[in-house]
Amino acid sequence: MELPHDSVLLRIFIGESDRYEHHPLHEAIVLKARELHLAGATVLRGAIGFGKSSRLHTSKILRLSIDLPVIIEIVDSEEKINAFLPTLDGMMAGGLVTLEKVRVIHYRGSRPASG
């Protein structure tokens, strides 16, 4: 699969406890992106954050949160990302979704070790 140099980064901010059809939402989004052959997705777990409600979510021991922030990043062509947005909208009850143009420098699989 070739990824255009001028691509789009889709960034999705949700909570760790968000669900879709009884599964963690972040997992459901990544699996759907894979099923639709998007170039790649990464899930990042945050240590602290807040959203629209201004409620603080943190991993500090004294204020242990069961709903840490999660960011999902997906990079692909603008056309494929735009085609994915209606599916994503149907999966999310809340959260924040952003898009930004990115310049792809490298997109390759790992090379086997030589030796």
Q: What is the pLDDT of residues 37-92, one digit of tens each?
A: 999 999 999 888 877 777 776 666 555 556 789 999 999 999 999 999 999 999 99
Predicted TM-score (pTM) of this structure:
0.85
pLDDT at 59: 63
Q: At 80, phi and psi to the nearest 5?
A: -70, -40
Is 30 in contact with 72 (CB distance < 8 Å)?
yes
pLDDT at 24: 97
**What tokens does 99 get?**
């898009």
30 residue type, one letter: V
Is 3 in contact with 107 (CB distance < 8 Å)?
yes
**Helix and strand tally (H, E) in the chain?**
2, 8
In CATH, what number does 6-103 get?
Answer: 3.30.70.120
pLDDT at 71: 97
pLDDT at 60: 61
Share of residues in the chain with pLDDT > 90 (%)? 68
